[in-house]
Chain A
Amino acid sequence: MKTIYLCDNTLEGILCGVYDAWSSRKGHDNVKLELCDQERNIELFTEYEEVTTEQWKADKLVLSIRKKISEAAYEAVYKASLSKEPERADRIYRFLIYGFHIGAGVTDMLQIPAVFDIFTICRHLDHEVHLLTGFVRFAEMENPSLAENNSAVIGSAAIGSAEIVEQRSYLQRTGSANSILVSKIGPKNDVLVLLAPHFADRLSGENWIIYDEKRKKAVLHPSNRSWFLMTLDSPEWEDYLLKAASQDQYEELWKIFRKGITIKERVNPACQLNHMPLRYRPYMTEFDHSLKD
């Protein structure tokens, strides 16, 4: 009989699932991993087992992946856990079977289907991160509104009150505290964590927020400090971001520039579409009137 392990939708959750399934000694063919918050069909003749996420199990597995396989393999597992692939938990499990068997060379062996799956997942993720480093658009808004709005906005977010005070003071204490850059994205994969370091390095002296509309998460970066991730599940946030997008004067200049740089004799919408898929465009200032030029 097959056993299906239901794990949390986090890296730790998946790793705990791998740990439990492996150490159950039922055999790799008799176990399967699934994510518990995913819609799925209940299978007949299977046993379902809920995995409780415990940090020590995840830590232990991470340590052995890094030691016995390689850093590159750990990076691949980490990225795969952020992907949109519904089967990602099981994919990671199948990958790790080969990983622990073969060792460091496993990430190059694309002829193995399990490795190829992880490779495609990571490639999709990397491409999306790279495109978003270019396609994220910030809109500037004044900070005074932050002072009043902040309590309403962040107050309704799902975090403790001590943190709120701390964050507000973060944003106000800093040098260029008179403005804040906000941006909204809707990526297929959960790329926020991979995107943040790029902007933290680039715009280190700015206050900025990147909000993932699909997962209701945001990265906040107070100027000259490190960034942090938080869950922001409230309609106030959407309004707040919408307002920000409509008051920036440089948007008009940017649109003028884009229009000016186009050579009319060479117009080629198919080529443009290849490089800049439609799904990114609703979040970009230059396409706020329509998705086509």
Chain B
Amino acid sequence: MLIQEDLSIQEKLNILSDAAKYDVACTSSGVDRKGKAGGIGNTVASGICHSFSADGRCISLLKILFTNQCVYDCKYCVNRSSNDVVRTAFTPDEVCTLTMEFYRRNYIEGLFLSSGIINSPDFTMDLIYQALKKLRFQHHFHGYIHVKAIPGADPVLIEKTGYLADRMSINLELPTADGLKKLAPGKTRSKILTPMKQIQKGIAVNRYELMEYRKAPKFVPAGQSTQMIVGATPENDYQMMMVAEALYQNYDLKRVFYSAFVPVNQDSSLPALPGGPPLLREHRLYQADWLLRFYGFKADELLSEDKPNFNVLLDPKCDWALRHLELFPVEINCADYYTLLRVPGMGVKSVQRILAARRSGPLDFDALKKIGVVLKRAVYFITCSGRMMYPVKIEEDYITSHLIGEERRRSWDISTKGAYRQLSLFDDMKLTAEPAAFDQHSILTGSM
């Protein structure tokens, strides 16, 4: 494979940012670090989005590949070795200049450096390490750096890189070992999980070092993340969620990202996806992921072997609540934090506000609205001082039919975005069966 050396920086940036775009993670969160005299940059725990691309995704980091040359032939990847695309590579100096100049102009929050595998995993990891070292020590850059650990690279290199980066990630790519074997013949499950375990242990050890000595160098302070492709292999949502939960529990991951599969290559082993990428499914997975991390849900509460996929029409939390109506209604003025969190229409922020506000007196529905509770959804599941807002039948069908109207519109927006429908007086879009001959006749003759 020939690497084009004589491209201008514009062309290189175009090729290598285009090649990096399928990596989802662009967060700059998780670490708070003040600026330093003589250096440039700081980081903010909440992360900062600097722009949004036309697809609505946040641009927070300068997301580029070091090189799009790759020895692997993963079926789903645009950079696979059998694809005929222009191959090029940045030099560490170019990466540093771009990062520094973009950062000074406040275009970006930091650097996201990933790479195809050039020559060998060790060689690639070393290139990345050299670039980071230059950025941190020559240019005194103290902003955010997210870097990929290359599966199969020497643990020593990964460790050295970890002390320079804020977040590291290794993409799991596919939730099961079978899928990986089928679509990514060069990679194995153990090759991916070994460095993940190493980073997890490194972070745990570093935590003790920091307790002993506050100024010890920090190892991957913003934690590690991973990414799974949704819809490239026939795994169901239940399997995806179980894998995600296991990753959170066993590998202490900060985030698992889900990426709706976009077919970039023609290959017999890939699904065709005529309706575009599975965006609604990705959306539901993210919703459930939040429920796992912040709401105290377990994956097997949301889904089960018998019901392995998420409801298309209802979000996972409403769906769960409707299957557990025996737990509702919940009394706002005395329920505890975790009970309130499980009510549809309430989030972490609004529950915290409720807890703070009810110390000084009972809350009513008007106050809840001010606090930021989405009453449209919550109203079926709560009471204020023993009363519901209006008489509601606690009955699955009744509540479902009320909730679904609004949710249907939204899920329709996600799955068929950009399409417009003619306004109609009739609800005919809900009809699936053809009208019977008798009905057609009665409509035509006007004898309803």
Kindly identify, within residues 113 to 147 of chain B, every residue whose CB is under 8 Å from any CB belonging to chain A.
143
Interface residues of B in 22-41 (CB under 8 A from A): 22, 34-41
> B242-275 interface mask toward A, CB cutoff 8 Å, 1 = contact, 0 = none?
0000000000000000001010000000000000
Q: A130-B48, A261-B59 are in contact. Are A256 and B10 (CB under 8 A)?
A: yes
| Interface residues as binary, B402-419 with A (CB distance below 8 Å gives 1, 0 otherwise) | 000000000001000110
Residue on B nearest A249 in the bound complex, by CB = B101
Distance in angstroms from B354 CB to nearest chain A CB is: 9
A134, A181, A253, A263: the one contacting B51 at CB < 8 Å is A134
Interface 9-mer from A43-51, A158-166, A266-274: A266-274
Quote the shortest CB–CB distance from A274 to chain B (angstroms).
8
Q: Is the CB of B276 within 8 A of A203?
A: no
Query: Which residues of A lie under 8 Å from residue B18 when comparing CB positions?
Result: 260-261
A293 touching B53, Cβ below 8 Å: yes
A282 at the interface (CB under 8 A from B): no
A205 at the interface (CB under 8 A from B): yes
Q: In whole Å, how far is B174's beta carbon from the nearest beta carbon of chain A?
A: 19
Min CB gap B239→A, angstroms: 24
- The answer to whether A108 and B105 touch across the interface, beta carbons within 8 angstroms, is no
Q: Please tell me if the beta carbons of A250 and B102 are within 8 angstroms of each other in the complex.
A: yes
Quick check: is A265 within 8 A (CB to CB) of the other chain?
yes
Q: List which A120-170 residues lie within 8 A (CB) of chain B.
A: 130, 133-140
Interface: A9 (CB within 8 A): no
Most buried by A among B44, B60, B276: B44
Q: Note all chain A residues with C-beta closer than 8 A to B348.
A: none
B375 to chain A, nearest CB (A): 15
Cβ of A275 under 8 Å from chain B: yes
Closest A residue to B353 using CB positions = A110
Partner pick for B363 among A111, A183, A204, A263, CB 8 A cutoff: A111
- How many whole Å from A8's CB to the nearest CB in chain B? 31
Known interface pairs A111-B363, A201-B42, A265-B262. Does A272 touch B105 (Cβ–Cβ under 8 Å)? no
Residue from B35, B51, B360 in contact with A202 in the complex, judged by beta carbons closer than 8 Å: B35
Interface of A (DSSP majority class): helix
Q: Given A206-B104, A265-B262, check contact A276 B52 (CB 8 Å).
A: yes
In the complex the two chains form, is B106's CB within 8 Å of A136's CB? yes
Q: How large is the interface on A (under 10, 10 to 19, 20 to 34, 35 or more residues)?
A: 35 or more
Which residue among A105, A256, A264 has the maximum number of chain B CB atoms within 10 Å of its CB? A256
**Given known contacts A140-B105, A254-B107, A286-B51, is B39 in contact with A205 (CB within 8 Å)?**
yes
Given the complex of chains A and B, what is the CA–CA distance between A248 and B105 in angstroms? 10
| CA–CA, A14 and B265, complex, Å | 64
Complex interface: chain B residues within 8 A of A284 (CB): 51
A183–B21 touching, CB < 8 Å? no
B157 close to A (CB within 8 Å): no
Task: Tell me the residues in window 367-393 of chain B with beta carbons closer than 8 Å to chain A beta carbons.
Answer: 367, 370-371
Smallest CB separation, B103 vs chain A (Å): 9
A137-B106, A272-B52 as given contacts; A250 in contact with B14, CB under 8 Å: no
- The CA of A257 and the CA of B103, in the complex, are separated in Å by 14
- B98 and A253 form a contact (CB under 8 A): yes
A262 at the interface (CB under 8 A from B): yes
Nearest-Cβ distance from residue A222 to partner chain B, whole angstroms: 14
Q: Which one, A111, A139, A268, contacts B55 given CB within 8 A? A: A268
A25 within 8 A of B: no
Q: Shortest CB–CB separation between residue B238 and chain A, in angstroms? A: 25
Across the interface, do A202 and B42 meet the contact criterion of CB distance under 8 Å?
yes
> Taking each of A105, A111, A135, A267, which has the highest tally of chain B beta carbons within 10 Å of its own beta carbon?
A111
B234 within 8 A of A: no
Pairwise interchain contact A138-B22, C-beta atoms closer than 8 A = no
Q: Residue on A with the closest CB to B97? A: A250
List, in ascending order, chain A residues with CB within 8 A of B370's CB. Answer: 110-111, 116
Nearest B residue (CB) for A106: B360
Q: Is the CB of A105 within 8 A of B17?
A: no
Known: A250-B101, A254-B102. 18 other contacts (CB 8 A): A111-B370, A130-B46, A133-B48, A134-B106, A134-B109, A199-B106, A203-B40, A204-B35, A248-B105, A252-B10, A253-B9, A260-B16, A261-B53, A262-B21, A263-B55, A268-B54, A268-B55, A274-B56
Top 8 A-B pairs ranked by shortest CB distance? A271-B56, A260-B17, A108-B356, A111-B367, A293-B54, A266-B55, A268-B56, A201-B35
Can you list 5 contacts pairing A with B, beta carbon distance less than 8 Å? A140-B105, A198-B44, A202-B40, A260-B13, A260-B21
